[in-house]
C-alpha cells in the first residue's frame, strides 16, 4: 500500500511541472509585448518598462520561469495589475463562495446521480431505466447557463423562493448561505449528475452480472443489500473515477455559474481578470485550479484501495 501511495505521489510531480510550464507560458503566448498588453493602450514607455522590470520580462525565459516557479512554491503568485493586491490574497478572499458552491454541488450530485444509476441498472431496459437515461442525456446536453437561467426564471423570478443572485457568507448563518447557493448548486449538479448517473448504471449492470451477485441472490439476500452492499461497492472504482474526471467539468461550470448568479467567487475573479487582462491573477487562478484538480485526482487514485483490495498489494 505504501508503495502504491508513493508511486501516485511521484506520478503527480511531472504533471504539475508541465502544468506550471504551460501556465507560465500564457503571457508569452499572447501576440505582442506582454508588458505593453498589461500596461494598456494609454501607457507611456516608462510605465511599460516599469511593468517589464516588475515582472522580470527583461530576463531570459528560463530565468523568468525559475523566479516565477520559486515564488509560486512559496505561495507568492505575484500582484494584481489592476488592484495591486497579492494574488493569493484575492484568491483567499474569494475561496469561501466557490468552496461552498462546490461542496453543496458535489453533495447534491452524489445524492441524485448514484441512486438514479443504481435504480436504472436494477430496472434495466424498463420504462424507469429509459426515463432516467433520458434525464441524463438531457442534463448533459443542455449548457449549464441555460439551466441556470431557467431555474432563475421559475424559482427566483416567478415563485420567488430563492434570490435571483448574490451570495450570503457563512457568517450570516449556515441556512442563509445554503439558501443563497441552492439554485446555482442545482444548476451545476444537474449537469454533473447526468454524467455520473450514466457511468453508475453501466458499472452496476456489469456488477449485477458477476458470479458473486448471483451467489448473493441464491442465498436469499434482500434487494437493497445486493444492490448497495455488494454490487455498488464493486462498481465503486469507475464511479469514483468519473467523479474525479467530472470535477474538471464542475470547475468550468463554477466560472459560468458564478457569473450568472453574481457570486463573488474564484470563477467570477477569473472572468474579471481575463476582461481586465490582469495576467498575474489569471495565471494564479489557473495554477490554483490545476493544483486542486491534481490533488483531487490523487485522492481519487488513493481511494481505490477502499474498493479494490488488490491495490494494497
CATH number, domain of 198, equals 1.10.3720.10
Whether the per-residue pLDDT at 31 is higher than 70: the answer is: no
- Degrees, nearest 5: CA angle 300-302-305: 110
- Where is the domain boundary, 73, 104, 133? 73
Query: How high is the pLDDT of residue 176?
Result: 92
Contact present, 16 and 291 (Cβ < 8 Å): yes
Task: Please give the average per-residue pLDDT across 201-217, as a whole number.
Answer: 79
Asked if 121 and 163 sit in the same domain, the reply is: yes
* In a domain? residue 189: yes
Task: Tell me which of 289 and 56 has the higher pLDDT.
Answer: 289
Task: Please give the average per-residue pLDDT across 92-97, as a whole number.
Answer: 89
Task: Please give the average per-residue pLDDT across 274-301, as a whole number.
Answer: 82
Contact present, 186 and 106 (Cβ < 8 Å): no
Asked if 46 and 160 sit in the same domain, the reply is: no
* In a domain? residue 224: yes
Selection from 174-188, 247-261, 272-286 with the highest mean pLDDT: 174-188
pTM across the whole model: 0.79
* In a domain? residue 80: no
Whether the per-residue pLDDT at 182 is higher than 80: the answer is: yes
Query: How high is the pLDDT of residue 305?
Result: 66
**In the block, which residue shows the cell 458535489?**
106
* In a domain? residue 79: no
Least reliable range by pLDDT among 73-77, 129-133, 285-289, 297-301: 297-301
Task: Tell me which of 273 and 232 has the higher pLDDT.
Answer: 273
Average pLDDT, the chain: 80
Asked if 164 and 286 sit in the same domain, the reply is: yes
Contact present, 97 and 264 (Cβ < 8 Å): yes
Least reliable range by pLDDT among 79-83, 107-111, 126-130: 79-83
Query: How high is the pLDDT of residue 307?
Result: 61
Which of 100, 271, 267 lies closest to 181 in space, CA to CA?
Answer: 100
Least reliable range by pLDDT among 74-88, 168-182, 184-198, 232-246: 232-246
* In a domain? residue 20: yes
Asked if 158 and 299 sit in the same domain, the reply is: yes
Asked if 234 and 166 sit in the same domain, the reply is: yes
Whether the per-residue pLDDT at 38 is higher than 70: the answer is: no
Whether the per-residue pLDDT at 310 is higher than 60: the answer is: no
Asked if 22 and 52 sit in the same domain, the reply is: yes
- Where is the domain boundary, 73, 98, 126? 73
Query: How high is the pLDDT of residue 70?
Result: 87
Range of the domain at 230: 87-312
Whether the per-residue pLDDT at 203 is higher than 70: the answer is: yes
Asked if 135 and 36 sit in the same domain, the reply is: no
The total number of structural domains that make up the chain: 2
Asked if 36 and 94 sit in the same domain, the reply is: no
* In a domain? residue 82: no
Task: Please give the average per-residue pLDDT across 47-56, as a whole number.
Answer: 76
Query: How high is the pLDDT of residue 178?
Result: 92
Asked if 25 and 110 sit in the same domain, the reply is: no
Task: Please give the average per-residue pLDDT across 191-200, as a whole number.
Answer: 83
Asked if 18 and 110 sit in the same domain, the reply is: no
Asked if 158 and 246 sit in the same domain, the reply is: yes
Query: How high is the pLDDT of residue 215?
Result: 78
* In a domain? residue 128: yes
Asked if 114 and 171 sit in the same domain, the reply is: yes
Band the pLDDT of 309: cuts 50, 70, 90: low
Band the pLDDT of 175: cuts 50, 70, 90: very high
- Where is the domain boundary, 28, 49, 73? 73
Q: Which residues contact 33 (CB under 8 A, 6 or more apart)?
A: 48
* In a domain? residue 229: yes
**In the block, which residue shows the cell 451477485?**
213
Band the pLDDT of 262: cuts 50, 70, 90: confident
Q: How many Å apart are CA 186 and CA 189, to the nearest integer?
A: 5
Percentage of residues in the chain having pLDDT higher than 70: 89
Amino acid at each position: 500500500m505504501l508503495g502504491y501511495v508513493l508511486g501516485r505521489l511521484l506520478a503527480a510531480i511531472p504533471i504539475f511541472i508541465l502544468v506550471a510550464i504551460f501556465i507560465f507560458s500564457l503571457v508569452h503566448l499572447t501576440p505582442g509585448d506582454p508588458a505593453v498588453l498589461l500596461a494598456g493602450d494609454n501607457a507611456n514607455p516608462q510605465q511599460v518598462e516599469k511593468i517589464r522590470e516588475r515582472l522580470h520580462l527583461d530576463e531570459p525565459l528560463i530565468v523568468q520561469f525559475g523566479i516565477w516557479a520559486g515564488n509560486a512554491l512559496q505561495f507568492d503568485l505575484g500582484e494584481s495589475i489592476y488592484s495591486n493586491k497579492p494574488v493569493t490574497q484575492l484568491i483567499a478572499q474569494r475561496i469561501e463562495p466557490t468552496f461552498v458552491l462546490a461542496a453543496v454541488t458535489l453533495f447534491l450530485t452524489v445524492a441524485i446521480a448514484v441512486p438514479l444509476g443504481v435504480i436504472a441498472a436494477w430496472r434495466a431496459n424498463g420504462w424507469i431505466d429509459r426515463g432516467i437515461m433520458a434525464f441524463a442525456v438531457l442534463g448533459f446536453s443542455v449548457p449549464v447557463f441555460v439551466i441556470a437561467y431557467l431555474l432563475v426564471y421559475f424559482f427566483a423570478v416567478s415563485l420567488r423562493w430563492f434570490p435571483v443572485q448574490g451570495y450570503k457568507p457563512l457568517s450570516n448563518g449556515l441556512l442563509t448561505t445554503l439558501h443563497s447557493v441552492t439554485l446555482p448548486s442545482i444548476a451545476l449538479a444537474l449537469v454533473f449528475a447526468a454524467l455520473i448517473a450514466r457511468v453508475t448504471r453501466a458499472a452496476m449492470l456489469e456488477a449485477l452480472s458477476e458470479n458473486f451477485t448471483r451467489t448473493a441472490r441464491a442465498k436469499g439476500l434482500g434487494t437493497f443489500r445486493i444492490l448497495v452492499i455488494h454490487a455498488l461497492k464493486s462498481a465503486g472504482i469507475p464511479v469514483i473515477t468519473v467523479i474525479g474526471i467530472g470535477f474538471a467539468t464542475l470547475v468550468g461550470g463554477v466560472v459560468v455559474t458564478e457569473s450568472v448568479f453574481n457570486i463573488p467567487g474564484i470563477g467570477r475573479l477569473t472572468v474579471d481578470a481575463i476582461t481586465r487582462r490582469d495576467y498575474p491573477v489569471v495565471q494564479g487562478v489557473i495554477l490554483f485550479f490545476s493544483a486542486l484538480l491534481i490533488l483531487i485526482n490523487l485522492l481519487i487514485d488513493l481511494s481505490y484501495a477502499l474498493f479494490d483490495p488488490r491495490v494494497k498489494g
